[in-house]
């Protein structure tokens, strides 16, 4: 069904999504407002493909063809040729609303618009368009080429036809689908973010060091990494944004973000991407 896939946002998630679609023979248009970010994304995708080749996941000879299927653009109007658009912009509600309004004007009536949002209401995003039946959530996990899950979120107006088309697409990408209804945080972040926030409270209240909190959760509950280092990898600004979506959406104080998290974001300590979070990444 899908031939040309548009991906909005050339950050870590957007580049990973573009990588996976191109690897599975789809033509990809990768959009970002920054040429530097687009250049960085293309370089990162090629490096990740080379890493896959060294591990025997793909053939080295396939890399050139995969990269040739990805076209970078700074013009949203180029998305007129897309059958599917996956938005992976910053987790900002107003930004996503504006993007979907523009996309609704640009792409064909039959095209599906998906959001990689990790917490923002698909129903509200869909309401910005004239095609709520063709709007759906496709929440990929990071790093996209490695993680097997795609959380698919049905908005209140999402049609069965759209859902079935995206379900089939997820399978063609070699991934597993978990289906969520449209409530704040969906499945993964509804469970994960409160756990991370509680770990931050444990640090804030002096219960233990960051290292011991992570060691306790990693070795005591068999998680691949502790919640604080995971927060650094996600980005503390993203963790805070999702905390706020949960808190605003449910009006329940149990979702209130830890003051330490708020202060760290205000200070620009965003985790690995800024070089400093609960751990130092500048060395």
13 among the known binding-site residues? yes
Question: What's the rounded Cα separation, in Å, for the pair 111 and 113?
Answer: 7
9 among the known binding-site residues? yes
Provide the token pair at 187. 């499945």
Catalytic residue positions, numbered: 118, 139, 151, 189
Question: What's the rounded Cα separation, in Å, for the pair 123 and 108?
Answer: 20
91 among the known binding-site residues? yes
Question: What's the rounded Cα separation, in Å, for the pair 137 and 238?
Answer: 17
Cβ(79)–Cβ(85) under 8 Å?
Answer: yes
74 among the known binding-site residues? no
Q: List the beta bridge partners of residue 72.
A: 30
12 among the known binding-site residues? yes
Which residue's entry shows tokens 């959760």?
217
175 among the known binding-site residues? no
Nearest residue to 147 via CA among 173, 182, 165, 125: 173
Please give the DSSP secondary-structure letter assigned to residue 258: P
Question: What's the rounded Cα separation, in Å, for the pair 180 and 28?
Answer: 26
14 among the known binding-site residues? yes
What angle do helix axes 236-250 and 227-234 make, rounded to 10 degrees? 100
Cβ(79)–Cβ(6) under 8 Å?
Answer: yes
142 among the known binding-site residues? yes
Binding site per annotation, positions for NAD(+): 9-14, 32, 91, 96, 118, 142, 273
Binding site per annotation, positions: 9-14, 32, 91, 96, 118, 142, 273
């Amino acid at each position: 069904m899908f031939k040309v896939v548009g991906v909005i946002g050339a950050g870590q998630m957007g580049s990973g999504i573009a990588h996976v679609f191109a690897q599975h023979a789809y033509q990809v248009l990768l959009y970002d407002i920054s040429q530097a970010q687009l250049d960085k994304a293309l370089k990162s995708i090629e490096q990740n493909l080379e890493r896959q080749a060294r591990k025997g996941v793909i053939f080295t000879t396939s890399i050139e063809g995969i990269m040739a299927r990805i076209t970078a653009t700074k013009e949203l109007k180029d998305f007129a040729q897309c059958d599917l658009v996956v938005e992976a912009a910053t987790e900002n509600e107003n930004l996503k609303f504006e993007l979907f309004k523009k996309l609704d004007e640009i792409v064909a009536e039959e095209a599906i618009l998906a959001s990689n949002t990790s917490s923002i209401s698909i129903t509200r995003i869909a309401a910005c368009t004239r095609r709520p039946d063709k709007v759906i959530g496709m929440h990929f996990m990071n790093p996209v080429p490695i993680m097997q899950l795609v959380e698919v979120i049905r908005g209140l107006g999402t049609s069965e036809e759209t859902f079935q088309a995206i379900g089939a697409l997820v399978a063609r990408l070699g991934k597993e689908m978990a289906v969520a209804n449209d409530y704040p945080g969906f499945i993964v972040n509804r469970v994960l973010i409160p756990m991370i926030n509680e770990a931050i409270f444990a640090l804030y209240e002096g219960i233990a060091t960051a290292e011991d909190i992570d060691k306790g959760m990693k070795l005591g509950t068999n998680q691949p990494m502790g919640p604080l280092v995971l927060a650094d990898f996600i980005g503390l600004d993203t963790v805070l944004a999702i905390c706020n979506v949960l808190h605003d959406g449910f009006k329940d104080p149990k979702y209130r973000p830890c003051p330490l998290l708020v202060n760290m974001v205000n200070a620009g300590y965003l985790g690995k991407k800024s070089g400093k979070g609960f751990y130092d990444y500048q060395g």
